Chain A
């Protein structure tokens, strides 16, 4: 448990650093957001209006006061007002889009992990066989594709040409968002292509990672002993090899969360999916700083949380770690 507390402390410290940087970086940059709005409006703003605007962005008073206001707002999950979707508060936009991204990325990661790990186990066990010699290189190749290409191909073929899937959005506008069967099916229907495009570019790395770790383990003495004991192939495969090989994959899973969120950017843009990625892209184009800042904080928080979850899982699954950390 002390190990976990230490990790938790580390993650909290990292998050505090992120929060602080998030406060200072825009203030180090030349001009505050109001100046940019002022310039954007070509001077059509009165000095009073400027001051009011500055105050609403938390850029008045001395730096310390500003920081306090910033922290206070953060505690209320108040990230200010979005300039792109004025006067929508940034937080509601952020959480709306975060839900869709979480659905997309969560679903895609889960599917990709399960498929990749399953294929990895199969090809390691039958290494050099037909499946292994065909799919291992193919999956490595798929893995090298950029998400953009895959998303564009899928979008062009299935949405534009054959019209099998919708052109965008997370669900049809005519449907009331509620936990009904109809709505869920509609959401899944809209998510199919974006999820598929993420799965296609990511499952290869799970396949490869699992396969190589397992092949390394097949030469271990404990596997030889398990075979000599006459255990069933199934038991050896899962209990003596896959059981051990999954540990590094779980750590890798946590590390990819940030990357996958980044990857969803392109996918969401192509499929016009209302997730974080799409809004981040338009926020960058529109210089919507409050949204970008909030999004960076969210990204930091999710990477840290993913790492914490992987720590906990590793602790549950790896007895060596468990007792090493009890001392």
Chain B
């Protein structure tokens, strides 16, 4: 499905949160590519910086957050340099976002129609009936009857609301949709429905997706490639199926073990022992070393670099692989 042409190139992305007394480096030197038509997943424990990366890519980072380093290239253009109208066009015409909470992403007191039509009117020449027609098409596309266009958010179920958010994200035919835990707030059946719908839409419309979820099984099923983050750094990028079958980094392995197998008998899961480091007191050397069962003396004083292993079609940052 995905081609080899790169749509978005992220290089050494660094994002800080400015505190009153210290600066927290939530994301440091993260690099990865999103290819055209590809679903790229970001995995990792809570707090590792997935949302921070997602917001930075969409240029939605807000104070106290600040992108302090690196580059984001989109179709050859420098995204971090966008301002004014170019930035406005970038956001939503080229890249759109599905927020985590379907319940709160729509304004409860104005009709759903208005919340999709305003995006269409702001970015295209379409107004009035033309914009409305487009909104109706989008509703149909995500499986909601266009008769319900003028209903208010509370009249829809949680799953329908998230579909409306997806319709809003799709209405300008963007090249990339960033989905930060788009289904976490929904029940499992609805979750599956929606993911299947996104898969179908992606095949039909050919957009790329940056997908974040805590459900590793779902991610492996849906994504082409997955980047694994740990404590603000990227530790491994590999084809989705390799995350379980051929994990390279010890953290990826631990992450895989902490999830129930997709099929076969249920085995007792082992969680990952210990907890991620405090961002204000990062260990010297490899950040995962204190929790790593195989850590070498080297791991505790030198940080490993991200290295490509073409024969395994992956990249990883671990001394053990050298």
Contacts and interface: CB of A to CB of B under 8 A. Distances in A.
A221 B98 CA distance: 11
A240 B109 CA distance: 9
A225 B165 CA distance: 9
B168 A225 contact: yes
Q: Which of B60, B106, B115 has the most CB of A within 10 A?
A: B115
B123 A230 contact: yes
A320 interface: yes
Interface in B71-122: 88-89, 91-92, 96-97, 99-101, 104-111, 114-115, 118-119, 122
Of the four ranges (under 10, 10 to 19, 20 to 34, 35 or more), the interface on chain A belongs to 20 to 34
B154 A320 contact: yes
B152 interface: yes
Interface in A286-321: 317-320
Contacts of B165: 225
Contacts of B114: 239
A182 B100 CA distance: 62
Contacts of A221: 99-101, 104-105
A16 to B, nearest CB: 35
A129 B155 CA distance: 38
Nearest to B108: A320
Contacts of B135: none
Given A230-B123, A239-B110, A220 B118 contact: no
A232 B152 CA distance: 22
Contact of B152 (A227, A235, A323): A323
Interface residues of B, number: 30
Given A221-B101, A221-B104, A320-B154, A228 B58 contact: yes
A231 interface: yes
A232 B96 CA distance: 17
Contacts of A230: 88-89, 91-92, 119, 122-123
A247 B110 CA distance: 13
A231 B101 CA distance: 20
Interface of A: 220-222, 224-232, 235, 239-240, 243-244, 247, 317-320, 323
Which 9 pairs between the two chains have the least Cβ-Cβ distance?
A221-B104, A319-B152, A230-B88, A229-B119, A222-B107, A221-B105, A225-B105, A320-B154, A230-B92
Interface of B: 58, 60, 88-89, 91-92, 96-97, 99-101, 104-111, 114-115, 118-119, 122-123, 152, 154-155, 165, 168
